[in-house]
Structure 1
Amino acid sequence: MDLKDVDLNLLLVFHHLLTERRVSAVADRLGMTQPGVSNALKRLRVLLGDDLFLRTSRGMEPTPYAARLAEPIGYALSTIQNSLNESGEFDPAASRQQFTLALTDIGEIYIFPKLMGILAERAPGVSITTVRNNAVNLKDEMEAGKVDLAVGLLPHLKSGFYQRRLFRQGYVCMFRSGHPLDKPAMTTEEFAHADHVVVVASGTGHAMVDQSIEKKGIKRRVALTVPHFVAVGHILASSNMIATVPERYARECVQPFGLKYVPHPLDLPAISINQFWHARMHRDAANQWLRNLIFDTFVE
């Protein structure tokens, strides 16, 4: 097939159908009529010799062939658009851009107090929206341009993504001030016999640490299991439970909750926390500015 035979507008319809999965939504997005979108899809089916999308109860589902075309076509279109609109610079002081970041709750607690203070000084018109990096199909959302940056341990973001390490994160034991274990060090036996708050954070680096504890044959007395870290500081402050938490999170909890932490009695692996961005945003001046700001602020 020769590129001269391909109408670029057909590829735009294809790209937005992958994202929206509804003909009506694509029509609204591109300023077309629904019959116009359907006709474009019909022409593309003939051109490529594949159904491309099948109507289901969940919307227009791509065929395997369409799924294989998704990334290269999306990247090509974004490269063209970025090249046409590229100003070569980004003025943070004048910008009113909204960025979407994917993080864990720990990422929000550790990163945003400092980051938002910097933005207030350097880019007062810039705003941030967050999503949980394990609550969305992150790969698809970043390919579609709906998420600008992701921060965490995200080994599934490989082909088509760039990454840069911010820091390595170790783990400690945290408890209230005046706890029976409030001393400079904790033994493995004391750790095993204490009452624990355990955070079940599947799809994150913390889940790997929990697996490491289990592999060492340590049977914790789990008194409470929670799905996130948001309430852990409050819980520890008013109980005799302890928790295994990232050291950076522990630092943020010491003052507001009256907590303390000690080195972990088990030899747990540190995990790398990276920031990730899709190749389509690699040369985007605004994205470059934000990811460089985050790197300069939080790099180890």
Structure 2
Amino acid sequence: MLNLVDLSRTDLNLLVLFEAVLEERHVGRAAERLNLTSSAVSHGLGRLRRLLNDPLFLRTPKGVVPTARALELAAPIADVLAGVRNILSAAEPFDPATSTRRFTIGAPDGISAVLLAPLLAELAHVAPGIDIGIRQLLPAPNESAPERAWRGAFADLDDRLTDIAVIPTGHIPERFHVSGLYDEDFVVAMRAGHTFAAAPTLARYCELEHLVVSLGGDPHGFVDEALARLGRARRVALTVPNFMFALAILAATDLICALPRRFAAMHAARFGVEIVDAPLELTRFRINAILPKVALMDAGVAWLLAILEQAPPPLSPTARSSAGI
């Protein structure tokens, strides 16, 4: 049967003392670093030697040198102290001005590309030490039910792989908090000088070859549903996995593609792509930030949500006219 160590009778500050002596290789310097007397450090080392059953540090004319056992213990003790420090720092009140936390946001690239620039600008101003990770989200392929299409995003939130998900659906389970960010619709994008821009009719739209953004390669989307209601169809000549890739392909081909209006207004011109209104009514989406309700108890996550709620700027008249809309 194992003899379990009684931690209630063990002073964990001895590990801090071990760390200081190991790094300084000198009892006097370790004492200065810890604001202790040299005799207090020596006394602590004596207790630690008895606890660990090893001399740990051997005296030399220039200080001390660690024993082989001390060197073996260096990494495990550093891990223990790092874990304790992380726990204690997480318990401190959240201050964006001094925080060095990393948050992860899940979103399709057509949404993250809209939110990221204003978000980073705000962070640079009020929270320069905070880091952001973006996790790419797209609806599950071949899934028509809205509440099932984004099940991967819900699972990521439950598993804490993301702090906040930003997705274009209102079909969200009750356990999540929902915050509406902005409304989005779709425009038709094509290379600059494309003939469709001059005559964007429904008939011409159906005649042209289309590009569809689809993570799994499924060519059927909400545009096809809208066309079917009109007794129309189109040819999807190419699918690509994200919206930024779509812009690069559109710039070099005669393909056309339905893209989110805000995303296209912000990024299309840089690729030499122009946009026009669609010649049929396409679905409008409410872009929602969602997170587990319990996560709102985390002051840092609640603060990030508030920043996202301010992030998407309204589409200006200049942006609309320059896009040809």
Category of TM-score, reference length = shorter chain: 0.5 to 0.7
Task: Output one character per residue of 1:76-116: Cα deviation in whole Å (capped at 9) or x when no partner.
Answer: xxxxxxxx999795311100011111101112221112211
- Correspondence for 1:179 among 180, 194, 204: 194
Q: Residue 267 of structure 1 corresponds to which residue in structure 2?
A: 281
* Contact 1:167–1:299 under 8 Å retained in 2: no
2:295 is the counterpart of 1:291 = no
Note closer, same or farther for the CA distance 1:95–1:213 as it changes in structure 2 (3 Å cut). Answer: farther
Alignment-derived partner of residue 132 in structure 1: 136
Structure 1 or 2, whichever has the larger Rg, is 2
Residue equivalent to 1:51: none
Pairing partner for 2:110 from 85, 106, 110: 106
Per the alignment, residue 225 of structure 2 pairs with 211
Over 3 Å counting, the alpha-carbon distance change for 1:165 and 1:210 in structure 2 is farther
- Residue 190 of structure 1 deviates from its aligned partner by 1.0
Q: Deviations over 1:6-57 (max 9, x none)?
A: xxxxxxxxxxxxxxxxxxxxxxxxxxxxxxxxxxxxxxxxxxxxxxxxxxxx
The Cα shift of 1:220 comes to: 1.1
RMSD between aligned residues: 2.6
C-alpha distance 136-242 of structure 1, shift in aligned 2 (>3 A): same
Q: Map residues 157-176 of structure 1 onto 2, 5 A cutoff.
A: 157-176=172-191
SS at match of 1:191: helix
The aligned residue for residue 252 of structure 2 is 238
- 1:256–1:119 distance in 2 versus 1, CA, 3 Å: same
* Contact kept? 1:88, 1:285, Cα under 8 Å: no
Contact 1:163–1:276 (8 Å) recurs in 2: yes
Distance of aligned partners of 1:272 and 1:234 in 2 relative to their CA distance in 1, 3 Å threshold: same
Counterpart pick for 1:143 among 147, 150, 158:
158
Task: Report how many aligned residue pairs link the two structures.
Answer: 213
1:78-117 matches, cutoff 5 A: 89-117=93-121
Task: Deviation per CA, 1:255-294: give whole Å up to 9, x if none.
Answer: 2112111111001121111000101112221111110111
Runs of 4+ in 1 over 4 A off after TM superposition: 84-89
Q: Relative to structure 1, is the Cα distance of residues 286 and 209 closer, same or farther in structure 2, using a 3 angstrom cutoff?
A: farther
Structure 2: runs of 5+ lacking an equivalent = 1-87, 139-149, 315-325
Q: CA deviation at 1:156?
A: 5.2
Contact 2:170 2:286 in 1 (8 A): no
**What is the CA–CA distance in structure 2 between the aligned matches of 1:171 and 1:187, rounded to whole Å?**
16
**Aligned counterparts of 2:237 and 2:192: Cα–Cα separation in 1:** 19
Partner of 2:210: 196
Q: Secondary structure at the match of 1:262?
A: strand
Shift of 1:215: 3.6
User: What's the TM-score, normalizing by structure 2?
Assistant: 0.59
Task: After TM superposition, give the deviation of residue 175 of structure 1 in Å.
Answer: 1.0
| Residue 118 of structure 1 pairs with residue 122 of structure 2 | yes
Is residue 163–residue 277 contact of structure 1 (8 Å, CA) maintained in 2? yes
Structure 1 stretches lacking a partner, 5+ long: 1-83
Percent sequence identity is 30
> 1:254: Cα distance to partner?
2.8
Cα distance in 2 for partners of 1:299, 1:288 equals: 20
Q: Secondary structure in 1 aligned to 2:305?
A: helix
